[in-house]
Structures are given as C-alpha cells and as structure tokens.
Amino acid sequence: MPPTTLITGAARGLGAAIARHLGTRGHHVIVNYRTGAADAAETVRGIEAAGGLASSARGDVTDPSAVDELVTGILATHGRIDTTVINANTAPPPFAALADLSWAAFAAKVTGELAGAFHITKRVLAPMRAQGAGRIIFIGSTAADYVGEGRLAHGTAKSALATFARHVAAENARDGVSVLIVAPGAVRTPATAQVLTSERGAVLARESVLGRMLELEDVAAAVALAADPALGAATGTTLRVDGGWSVLVGGPAAN
Ligand SMILES: NC(=O)c1ccc[n+]([C@@H]2O[C@H](COP(=O)([O-])OP(=O)(O)OC[C@H]3O[C@@H](n4cnc5c(N)ncnc54)[C@H](OP(=O)(O)O)[C@@H]3O)[C@@H](O)[C@H]2O)c1
C-alpha cells in the first residue's frame, strides 16, 4: 500500500509542486483545496499522467467542521493517513511596518496562519496516534527567523507556527508521530507573483550562496525527504531551504 499523504492547499503554488513530487514518488497524495477545484483537478491529472496516484478533496482547513469532513472522508477511503503537509496559504501577509499595520490585519494573519495548522493537526493526530506512526510537516518560512522590512505580521505568524509545531512534536513523539518544519525562502508562486519582481529576483539570486533563486522543485524535494519515516528521530526541528541565506554574515539584505 502506498503511503497516504494529505497536502493542504495543494491546488496551486508550492502545495501543488509538493503534491507532484510526492505523487510521482510512491505516495498517494490527497490534493486539498478550498476554492480551486479546477486547479486541484489539473494537479491530480498531471500526477496521474506521470504514473502517480492522487485524488482531490475540498475543505477549508480553517473550519473545524470542514476539516473533520475532509479527514473522515480520507480515512473512509484509505484507512489511514501517513503524512500530512500543512501548507495552505490561509492568511496572505499584510506587508507593513507596525506603524502602518492595523490590529485587524495583524490578527487576521496570525490567527489565520494558526487556524490553518491547529484544526488539521488536531484531527490527523488521532488516527496517527492510533496507528502508532505518522509524520506532520509544517511549511514555515525563513521569515520566522529573519527580520525583513514589512514582514512583522508574517514573521510573527510563522514563528508562532514553529513553536506550535515543536509542542506537537514533544507531545506526540512517544506515540510514533514526528514533526518537521520545512522553512523555505522566497519562491515564485501565485501568492508571490506581484512582490517577486525580476529586480527582487536578481537581489535574491545575488544574495544566495547558490547564485540563483530558489525554485519550487528545491522545496518540494526537501519536503519529500522530510516525509521519509526513517527521519522520525528528526522531530520538532526545522529544515531551512533557503539557498544558503542563513550562512551569509549579517544575513540577507531586507530590500
Ligand atoms: N511562496 C513563497 O515564497 C513562500 C516562502 C516561504 C513559505 N511559503 C509558505 O508556503 C505555503 C504555500 O504558499 P504559496 O506561495 O504556494 O501560496 P499560494 O500560491 O497562495 O497557494 C496557496 C494555496 O493554499 C490554498 N488555501 C488558502 N486558504 C486555504 C484554506 N483555508 N483551506 C484550504 N486551502 C487553502 C489555496 O487554495 P484555493 O485556491 O483553493 O483557495 C492555494 O491553493 C504557505 O504556507 C506560505 O506561507 C511560501
């Protein structure tokens, strides 16, 4: 039986790349989407055309009843969930300094990010603990550790997500469930299309020790490695996929 892997928000962007990578490397991937049914169907078709296994499943991961329906449906069909990748971009960042940030915009980012992790984590943990095995991968961000201009709300949310993930790791390790945070740097997706201009891309490439921008495939490949159950002892920790930014003296420039 191929492992059953749920990827939240996998209709497009990074989630779709992760789904393609895992779906063509032995996982049966469940491509979760909220509104993008056509994109999700296209992602599934692409995986199947490449000889992989995939299906799509609707569900707003910030809504506990939708999450329950989503996970109940997967369990009814597959009997288990081996890996869950918590990726959905539930709260796009308001890029602003504190002086220009409203409480509503800040709170929407932080609570949206955490709602997208809280409900699904809680729901998949029950069957994973009963199985005595499971892997949960949170898509964090280098923004959790690095102070860049306008990234106060996003960085705070991703930092809180990482803390949440570490607690989940500690609480569930003895029941066979392990947790990894994969923290990418900036990659081109529909969410970043407007801010990742070619000028910005050139800065990112210059400041990467790789000498190029990160690609979706770089991150998807890291998530596929992170999904290997043999890595279970690497729990509660972060795998940065940042093109080497963190090794630069003084860190990357904010602009
Ligand atoms: N792009 C980057 O540079 C970058 C860097 C570091 C980390 N990340 C993280 O990577 C993840 C994916 O980002 P992305 O750039 O690929 O975003 P994206 O292009 O906006 O795609 C996000 C996906 O999330 C889905 N989604 C949003 N809200 C949802 C909800 N409530 N329930 C279920 N699905 C939902 C969307 O589905 P629908 O269209 O169906 O609504 C969409 O398919 C995010 O966690 C982001 O913070 C991104």
The verdict on the CB of residue 188 being under 6 Å from ligand 1 is: no
Q: Please state the separation of Cα 88 from the chain's center in Å.
A: 6
Predicted pLDDT of residue 20: 98
3-state secondary structure of 79: coil
DSSP state letter for 225: H
Distance (angstroms) between ligand 1 centre and the Cα of 24 equals 21
Q: Measure the CA–CA gap between 247 and 19, rounded to whole angstroms.
A: 29
Cα separations (Å) of 129 from 117, 165, 174, 180, 235? 17, 16, 9, 16, 15
Q: Measure the CA–CA gap between 48 and 205, rounded to whole angstroms.
A: 33
Predicted pLDDT of residue 50: 98
Contact 118, 168 (CB under 8 A): no
User: Phi-psi bin for 157: left (phi > 0), alpha (psi -120 to 50), beta?
Assistant: alpha
Predicted pLDDT of residue 221: 97
Identify the CA nearest to 93 among candidates 166, 37, 148.
148
Q: Which atom of ligand 1 is nearest to the CA of 60?
A: 32
Distance (angstroms) between ligand 1 centre and the Cα of 201 equals 20
Predicted pLDDT of residue 214: 94
> Could you say which residues of the chain have pLDDT below 50?
254-255
Strand-pairing partners, residue 192, are none
The verdict on the CB of residue 89 being under 6 Å from ligand 1 is: yes
Residue with tokens 């809504």: 63
Strand-pairing partners, residue 57, are 32
Predicted pLDDT of residue 254: 47
Predicted pLDDT of residue 255: 43
Q: pTM above 0.85?
A: yes
Kindly state the tokens that stand for 220. 């998807």
Q: Measure the CA–CA gap between 81 and 75, rounded to whole angstroms.
A: 7
From atom 47 of ligand 1, which residue's Cα is the shortest distance away? 89
Predicted pLDDT of residue 207: 81
**β-pair type (134-139, 83-86):** parallel
Q: Measure the CA–CA gap between 41 and 252, rounded to whole angstroms.
A: 38
Distance (angstroms) between ligand 1 centre and the Cα of 48 equals 22
Predicted pLDDT of residue 223: 98
The pLDDT tens digits of the residues spanning 141-181 come to 999 998 888 999 999 999 999 999 999 999 999 999 999 99
Distance (angstroms) between ligand 1 centre and the Cα of 253 equals 25
Cβ neighbours of 105 (radius 10 Å): 15
Residues 6+ apart with CB under 8 A from 107: none
Q: Where do the domains of the chain lie, and which CATH numbers do they carry?
A: 4-186+215-241 (3.40.50.720)
Q: Measure the CA–CA gap between 218 and 225, rounded to whole angstroms.
A: 11
Contact 9, 90 (CB under 8 A): yes
Predicted pLDDT of residue 235: 98
Distance (angstroms) between ligand 1 centre and the Cα of 138 equals 12
